[in-house]
Amino acid sequence: MTVGSLLAADLVIAVLEVAGWLGGGAASAARHRRLALGLAAFALLATFARAITITALARAGWWFAAEKVLIAAPLSLAAVVVAGPRLLRGDCSRSRRGVRRAELEWSRADIRSVAVPLLFAGYAESGALLVTVLHGYPASAGAGLLAVAGVVAATAVSWRVLGARPSRVVFRAAVVVAVAALVTGTGLAAAPGAAPAVPHDHQPGDARTAGEATRRFTLTAGTTTVRVSGRDVAAWAFNGQVPGPELTATVGDVLEVTLRNRDIARGVTLHWHGYDVPNSQDGVPGVTQSAVLPGQEFVYRFRADQAGTYWYHTHAVSDVGVRMGLYGVLVVRPAPVTGVDITVPVHTLSGRPLPTPRTEPVGAGVPVRLRLINTDSTTHRYALAGTRFRVAAIDGSDLNGPTPLVDTAVLIPAGGRYDLVFTAPATPVALFVDGRAVYSTGAVSAATGAWPVLDPLTYGVASPVPWSRFDREFTLVLDRGLDLHGLFPRYAHTVNGAADPDIPPQVVRLDDIVTFTIVNRSLVVHPWHLHGHHVLVLSRNGEPATGSPLWLDSFDVRPGDVWEVAFLADNPGMWANHCHNLAHADAGMTLHLMYS
Amino acid sequence: MRKALVIVTTVLLVAFVLQFVFAAVGAFTKPAGEGAFALHSVTGMAVIPVLTLLTALFAVLAKAPGRLVGLAILPLGLVVLQALIAMLANASTDAAGVSTPFGLTIAGLHALNGIIAVHVVVSVHQAARKLAQPAPAGVTQVAVREGEPV
C-alpha cells in the first residue's frame, strides 16, 4: 500500500470512527440499546484500525503522523478509556439480572447513561479529525488546545441537554478547562510567526553584453479572442496568438525580449521557466521586478548558453494569466536544426486542448526530436506509438545513456519538458496526449492507455553525485490548512504549516550545496518548481535514484511521496520556490530562496 | 429562540435547494472549467456550514427536546462529511490526473450524503415548526416556569 493511499485510508477510517461514536451516543440517548452497542463496537474497531494506520504512517515518516500521534492518539485514548469501561459495565450488569422484563427496563435506563461517554468519544475523535484536516503539519500546542476546548465544551453541553447533569463542581471545572484551553489555544494559534518580509530590490540586468549576435523579439500581451477546436474563446495572448510566438536561439546568441502590456489590467511579466537566468531577468513580480502594467514595457536580456527545451509565461496573476494563454515556447539549440525538430506545448484553454492536432509525413531515416511541454497545472500522459524512441532530455538537461523504449508512456508534470528522439521509420508514428493524437506522420491506431509509464529515476546510466558534502538542509512539508489571509480565512495550500506570504524564506550562501526534502502529506499532487536552479534528484521515498542524473526544475511530488533533491547555490538573488499547480501557488504554496 | 430556530432552518433548507441547483449549474457548464463549481463550493464550504452551526446552536438555546437537538446537530456532521467526501473523490485520480473507478464511487457517496442531509434538514425544519406552535395552556405554563428565554 502506498503512503498516499494510506493517508486516504486513514482519513476514511477516522470519519467512520467519528460516525460510529457519535451515532452510538445518539442511539443510546434515544434508548436504542442494540444499535448503540453495535455502533460503539464498530467505533471501537475503527479506533483500533486507526491505531494501525497511524503507526504505519509514522513508520513512513514522522511528517505524515505527527499531529495524529501527538493530538489524535491521546484524544482517542481518552475516548476509549472513558467510553470502553462504561460499555463493558453495562453489559455485565445486564447478565446479573434475572427477570427479563426488569432487565429490559434496567438496561434501557442503563444504556442512556453511556450516551455522554460515547458522545465524548465522538467529540474527541471529531476534534482529532478536524486538527488533521484543517491544521495538519506541524502539530502545534495551539491546535491541540483548541481541539480540547471544543471537546470539553461539546461534552458539557451534551451533558446538560441529556438531563443527566453533572454536579456543579464538575460542570464548573469543565467550563474552566474549556475556556482556559480556548484562550491559550487561540493565543498560540494567532501568535504571529516570524516571517520576514521578502525584500524586493530591482537591480539593473546583469546580462549586459556586447559583441554577441542578439536575437530580438517583442511580445505584446493583450486580451483577444482565439479560435480553438472550431470555437472562438476569450484569451489573454502574446502578439494575439496562443501559444505566444516560439522564441528560438542558438547557443552563443543573446536574447533580448521586449515585453509590452497592451491591456492586461492586472499586469504581466515574463518568467523563463526552467531557464536559469540572472535573478533580475526572472520575471517574478514583487520580487525581481514590478509587474508590467498596461502601457508599460520591460526589456529582458540574457545569454542563450543553456541548450534545451524551455517555456516562458507570465508570473503576474500567474494562475489566471497562464490558463488564459500568456505562455509560449523557448528553445535554445546547440546548432542549427538537422532533421525534424518539433515543439508540442500542451495546454488547456477554456476546457479545450491545445495544440491543434497536425499530421505531416516524414521520410524514413530522418532524425526526429519531439519537444514535449506541459504548460497546464496538472500532469499529462504522453504516449509515442509506432516507433522505438529515447528520452534524450528532461527539463532541458540531456540524460546520460538513455536506452530505447517501446510502447511506454511518459508522465510530464506541470511545467515539465521531455525531449523524445527517434529515427523516423517507414511506417507512421503518432504522439498521443491523454489518448488524443496531437502529432502524427500518418494514420496510427493504437490503444496506449494500458502502456507502462517510464520512471525517470531508473532510466539511463548513473553517474556519481558530484558533491560529497551538503551545507544546508531544508524540509518542505506540503499540506492544506486554514490560514488567515488578511482577515479572510481560507483553506490554503501550505508549506510547513504556513501559507504565502507567511512562509519564512530559505536562506543560503553562495556556493552552498543545499538539499531539499519535499514531503507531500496532502491528497493531491504538487508539481514542485524552484526558480533559477536545477535540482539533482537524490532519492524518492527512500530509494536512491539509480538512472541517469536527473537535473529537474519541475517534478511531481505525489501524495505520500518524499523526494530528496540537491542543488548548488550558484545563482545569487531572491528566487521563488513554489508549486507549479498555479492555483495551489496562488492559494499559499509559494516561498522564496534567498542568498545571504 | 424557537422562532429563530424555525427561521434558520428555513434559510438552511433554501440554501440546500440552491446547493442542488448550483451542482447542476456546475455539471452542465460548458466547457467544464475549474470555475464551474465555484458557486457550489462557496455555498458548501461557507454558507451551509454557518447555517448548520446556527441551527444546532438555536436548537440548544431554544431548549428543544433532546431528540430535536440531536437531529439539529446531525446536519453539521453530514456537511463536514460531505466536504471530506468531495476532497477524497477529487484526490482519487491516477498519476495523470484521470478519475479512477474508486474515486467515482466515492463521488457517488457525495450525492447520496447530500440527499440524506436534505432529508434531515426537512425533519429538523418540521420539528422546529411544531415546537414553535403555541402549545396547549398547561404545557405553556410549564415552559414559562422553566424560564423560556424568548
Q: How far is B109 from chain A (nearest CA, A)?
A: 12
> In DSSP terms, which residues pair with A385 in a beta bridge?
A430
Could A30 and B81 be called an inter-chain contact, meaning their C-beta atoms sit closer than 8 Å?
A: no
Could A18 and B95 be called an inter-chain contact, meaning their C-beta atoms sit closer than 8 Å?
A: no
- Compute how many other C-beta atoms are within 10 angstroms of the C-beta atom of residue A316: 25
| Per-residue pLDDT at A30 exceeds 90 | no
Q: Does B95 touch chain A (CB under 8 A)?
A: yes
pLDDT, position A547: 94
Query: Which residues does chain B have within 8 Å of residue A19's beta carbon, measured at their own beta carbons?
Result: 77, 81
Could A434 and B81 be called an inter-chain contact, meaning their C-beta atoms sit closer than 8 Å?
A: no
Could A161 and B69 be called an inter-chain contact, meaning their C-beta atoms sit closer than 8 Å?
A: yes
Q: Choose between A590 and A214: higher pLDDT.
A: A590
Residue A557: closest C-alpha in chain B? B95
Phi, psi dihedrals of residue B48, rounded to the nearest 5°: -65, -45
Could A18 and B97 be called an inter-chain contact, meaning their C-beta atoms sit closer than 8 Å?
A: no
pLDDT band, very low/low/confident/very high, at A166 (cuts 50, 70, 90): low
- Compute how many other C-beta atoms are within 10 angstroms of the C-beta atom of residue A407: 14
Can you tell me the distance from the alpha carbon of A495 to that of A500, in angstroms, rounded to the nearest whole number?
9
Residue A349: closest C-alpha in chain B? B33
pLDDT band, very low/low/confident/very high, at A178 (cuts 50, 70, 90): confident
Q: How far is B128 from chain A (nearest CA, A)?
A: 17
Q: At what angle do helices A115-130 and A100-113 cross, to 10 degrees?
A: 30
pLDDT, position A99: 41
| Per-residue pLDDT at A179 exceeds 50 | yes
Q: Which of B45, B88, B97 sits opposite A8 (nearest CB)?
A: B88
Measured CB to CB, residues of chain A less than 8 Å from chain B are 8, 11-12, 15, 18-19, 22, 26, 29-30, 126, 130, 133, 157, 161-163, 323, 350-352, 378-381, 411, 434, 453, 491, 523-525, 556, 558-559, 583
From chain B residues 3-32, the ones with a CB under 8 A of any chain A CB are 30-32
| Per-residue pLDDT at B144 exceeds 50 | no
Could B95 and A453 be called an inter-chain contact, meaning their C-beta atoms sit closer than 8 Å?
A: yes
Note the pLDDT tens digit of each residue in A189-233. Answer: 766 555 555 555 545 445 555 567 889 999 999 999 999 888 899
Q: Which of B33, B45, B97 sits opposite A351 (nearest CB)?
A: B33
Q: How far is B127 from chain A (nearest CA, A)?
A: 16
Nearest to A456 by CA among A533, A517, A515, A402: A402
Q: Choose between A546 and A168: higher pLDDT.
A: A546
Residue A157: closest C-alpha in chain B? B60
Mean pLDDT, rounded, of chain A? 88
Q: How far is B120 from chain A (nearest CA, A)?
A: 14
Q: How far is A277 from chain B (nearest CA, A)?
A: 30
Please tell me which of A105-109, A174-178, A237-241, B32-36 the model is most confident about, judged by mean pLDDT. Answer: A237-241
| Cβ neighbours for A43, distance < 8 A, ≥ 6 positions apart | A16, A17, A19, A20, A21, A23, A24, A118, A121, A122, A125
Nearest to A506 by CA among A438, A578, A411: A578
ipTM surpasses cut 0.85: no
| Per-residue pLDDT at B64 exceeds 50 | yes
Query: Which residues does chain A have within 8 Å of residue B98's beta carbon, measured at their own beta carbons?
Result: 381, 434
Query: Which residues does chain A have within 8 Å of residue B92's beta carbon, measured at their own beta carbons?
Result: 8
| Per-residue pLDDT at B148 exceeds 50 | no
Could B67 and A556 be called an inter-chain contact, meaning their C-beta atoms sit closer than 8 Å?
A: no
> In DSSP terms, which residues pair with A535 in a beta bridge?
A552
| Per-residue pLDDT at B97 exceeds 90 | no
Could A18 and B77 be called an inter-chain contact, meaning their C-beta atoms sit closer than 8 Å?
A: yes
Give A39-42's long-range contacts (Cβ < 8 A, gap of 24+): A40/A83, A40/A87, A40/A114, A40/A118, A42/A16
Q: How far is B39 from chain A (nearest CA, A)?
A: 16
Q: What is the mean pLDDT of residues A42-60?
A: 94
- Compute how many other C-beta atoms are within 10 angstroms of the C-beta atom of residue A335: 9
Assigned C-alpha cell, A357: 492536432
Q: At what angle do helices A141-161 and A168-190 cross, to 10 degrees?
A: 150
| Per-residue pLDDT at A380 exceeds 90 | yes
pLDDT band, very low/low/confident/very high, at B65 (cuts 50, 70, 90): confident
Q: What pTM does this model have? A: 0.87
Could A11 and B84 be called an inter-chain contact, meaning their C-beta atoms sit closer than 8 Å?
A: yes
Could B90 and A524 be called an inter-chain contact, meaning their C-beta atoms sit closer than 8 Å?
A: yes
Could B66 and A162 be called an inter-chain contact, meaning their C-beta atoms sit closer than 8 Å?
A: yes
| Ranges A204-213, A575-584, B77-86: which has the least confidence | A204-213
Assigned C-alpha cell, A174: 469543565
Could B32 and A351 be called an inter-chain contact, meaning their C-beta atoms sit closer than 8 Å?
A: yes
Q: Are strands A417-423 and A390-394 parallel, antiparallel or unpaired?
A: antiparallel
A47: amino acid identity, one letter? T
Q: Choose between B61 and B14: higher pLDDT.
A: B14
Note the pLDDT tens digit of each residue in B120-138. Answer: 999 999 999 998 887 665 5
Note the pLDDT tens digit of each residue in A86-114. Answer: 777 655 444 444 444 444 444 555 777 78
Note the pLDDT tens digit of each residue in A416-435. Answer: 999 999 999 999 999 999 98
